[in-house]
Amino acid sequence: MCAGATPIWTVKADAYGHGATLVAGEIAKSLSRRPLGSARGSSRRARGEWFGVDSLDEAIELRHGGIRAPIIVLGWVPYPRLAELKRHDLRLLVSSEKTVAELRKRRLKLRVHLKIDTGATRQGVLPGRVLPLARQIRAAGLILEGCATHFANIEDVDNPVYGDLQIERFIACVEELKAAGFAMPIIHAACSAAAMTRPESVFTACRIGIGLYGLNPSKLVAKSYRRAHAGQALKPVLSWRSRVALVKKVPAGTPVGYGLTEKTRRPAYIAIVPVGYSDGYDRSLSSKGSVLIRGKRCRVMGRVCMNMIIVDATPARGASENDVVTLIGSDGNASVTADELADAAGTINYEIVSRIAEREPRFLS
């Protein structure tokens, strides 16, 4: 996906709900098993041993979990905590002169990456201030290890104009920095969508987020990727399961759940599943979501509660307490995907998986 560039495995938001320490640990293990000769390039750090997180606390969690590879903090760090970056050997994505001034005041000798706002109007310094900020970074005794940008509309593969503009702006800024004597080994712009559909957006590194977990950034990206790769497709790695806590038989016309928003249309077997919106099963899936029990699709009835959902288990003949309930994943020939839930909830698959509560246990299968 990164076409020879160094991947920065993005494990922010608890690895998009998949478990940051678990995911990073598995990647680190796979890299340690890889023969040196199989790496792209001769540098050890060109072997993909990079991780990206949003917050300082996420980075520290990885360090405590035994991750020793380079970690870059992509989000904002409160000024009183900047020294912790040095203490834990972390990189920082820098977007402002104020942050650089705070690092200089604390005499912190860090490796930093300069974020350039090429059109997302989010993090980053505007192109006209790139060179002045780079010079301020150098004057502060910091190491300008890399630069980066982020795309605003790269998922819309049918309309590449704005993506082209951002790439052009980024290249111009990179060339300006290099002409001024800044040699930056790590240059990254591509996210998963860009890496999958726009190889020209991949520089010496790329930040792989949602694609790492086998989820597509958008339906357009998925279609374009299949077309360009002979029908190949990403495969989700996550399954989310619970258990049936209770089953009861009720007559037709029985009201279900808070607000009496729904009634059974026939005699039904109702199953109670101990997962609710506080666990990450979105309340907007009330009367819309489906789960799998005994390989059969069972519809969510009534409102999603804080800690449980009510489902019509009638299709799962003989369903009983302790049966496995698949919230996301496959059971026999049936499946429920994060994309399906996202469509029902009116959101994106990123939100569906990243909102799964961290207290939910994660296991490797």
Separation of alpha carbons 80 and 321, rounded Å:
51
Is residue 352 a contact partner of residue 341, using CB atoms and an 8 Å limit?
A: yes
**12 assigned to active site:** yes
Query: Each residue of 212-236: b (16+ CB within 10 Å) or e?
Result: bbebbbbebbbebbeeeeeeeebeb
Catalytic-labelled residue, pool 12, 16, 213, 225? 12
C-alpha 193/C-alpha 201 separation (Å) is: 10
CA dihedral sign of residues 122, 128, 134, 137: negative
Active site residue 258: yes
Contact 125, 117 (CB under 8 A): yes
Which residues in the chain belong to E strands, given as ranges?
A: 6-10, 50-53, 71-73, 91-94, 111-115, 143-148, 186-188, 205-208, 240-243, 246-250, 255-256, 262-263, 268-273, 290-293, 296-301, 309-312, 324-331, 334-336
Assigned token pair, 129: 């201030």
Choice among 105, 225, 258, 350 that is catalytic: 258
Q: Which residue has the tokens 């930093």?
A: 112
For the annotated catalytic residues, the residue numbers are 12, 258
